[in-house]
Amino acid sequence: MQVTSTHGGNTAKSLDARQPEKVSGIDGAPSRPERSGSKNLQTTLANPIHCQGIALHSGVTVDLVLSPAPANSGVRFQRSDIEGSPSFPALYNHIVDTRLSTVVACETDPSSLRVATIEHLMAALSACEIDNILVTVSGPELPVLDGASDAFTFLIRCAGRKTLETPRQVIEILRNVRVEGENGAFAELRPAQRGLSLAISLSFPAQAIGNQRYAIQLDERRFMEELAFCRTFVNRKDIEYLQSIGLARGGSLETAVVVDGENILNPAGLKIEREFARHKLLDAIGDLYCAGHRMQAGFIGHKSGHTLNNKLLRAVFSDAANWRFAPTGSSRTATKTLRARVAA
């Protein structure tokens, strides 16, 4: 079926976002994913779903299929245009490039079997609490869609969420871990009492961006209301350079905020105040989900991006004293839920 901007059930903000050009696998109006009391059980999609969209850099149309996957398989990618190629995990130690976007690759053939620009989908999966999914794409890059996560959350909600009978494992950060970049940039994870909270600050010479800060305790509702629709952004000079070397061909003023000094070149301006900082937070949520599990931690980023986010995860997992799987109430509750279901 074709999806138009007249669909019901989605948030009002996503009506402004560019939805996938074509979506199949929907039987009815999009709905919120299944909400169950089993927050500590793993999930997957209830149904597969397909869309087509334009890849940001190559500008070609790619097919994307999101499919249910079994417990403990995590988020995995597969290239449908390379026959017989294996799937590979969306894990921090499989990230091979972070310069323009987060790029994941298969360790057996990282030069061919790779998928770029995974971060906006990863953020949507994290916020919608999808633990296991197979992402099949017919090219080396995910479609850019709305330049944010709203189109992906739309797909996930259309597909529905299914709870599995396997407890979820949550990574608990046990001590502060910090990595630093140039010009005072840093990213840090700290112990936290519950869930994932994030705070980010950025400082850009372009006056239209300037200094901005945004913080959030991650949950699906706040993600949808405050971050999911916030687009990626780029300097006019940078996008002109990228396009001169054959990149960013699929970019447009609908999918990115383009900044030129104190001016924003998009005729409609920003979607919301501090859209830049909010998008950086969205990116961090997606990059952190490459830990392979949900996280109990506090994240602080200053002028951070994909490179520091990945460096941070590598630093966390380089020392077993930095983290553990939360022994918690979370698994005890999940076991109780399982027992109750078996007894019923």
Query: Rounded to the nearest whole angstrom, what is the least distance from the CB of residue 124 to Zn ion in the complex?
Result: 12
- Report the C-alpha gap between 272 and 221 in whole angstroms: 17
Q: Minimum Å distance from CB 254 to Zn ion?
A: 15
Residue number, 153 or 232, with CB nearest to Zn ion: 232
User: Residue 214: how many CB atoms within 10 A of its CB?
Assistant: 22
**Which region, judged by CB under 5 A, interacts with Zn ion, from 5-13, 135-143, 282-290, 297-305?**
282-290
CB of 282 to Zn ion, least distance (A): 6
Q: Which of 57, 120, 302, 306 is catalytic?
A: 306
Q: Which of 43, 132, 232, 296 binds Zn ion (CB under 5 A)?
A: 232
Nearer to Zn ion, 136 or 232 (CB): 232
Among the candidate windows 106-114, 129-137, 188-196, 224-232, which touches Zn ion by CB under 5 A?
224-232
The answer to whether the beta carbons of residues 100 and 58 sit under 8 Å apart is no
User: Percentage helix, strand, coil, to 5, in the chain?
Assistant: 25, 30, 45
CA angle 234/238/241 to nearest 5° reads: 140
Nearest to Zn ion of 13, 32 (CB atom): 13
Q: Is 307 in the site for Zn ion (CB under 5 A)?
A: no
| 120 annotated active-site | no
Whether residue 151 contacts residue 20, with contact meaning beta carbons closer than 8 Å, is answered with: yes
Choice from 20, 283, 284, 306 touching Zn ion (CB under 5 A): 283
Other CB atoms within a 10 A radius of the CB of residue 128 amount to 23
- Residues in CB range of 168: below 8 A, 6 or more apart: 40, 41, 42, 131, 293, 294, 330, 334
Please identify every residue annotated as catalytic. 306
Positions that interact with Zn ion (CB under 5 A): 232, 283
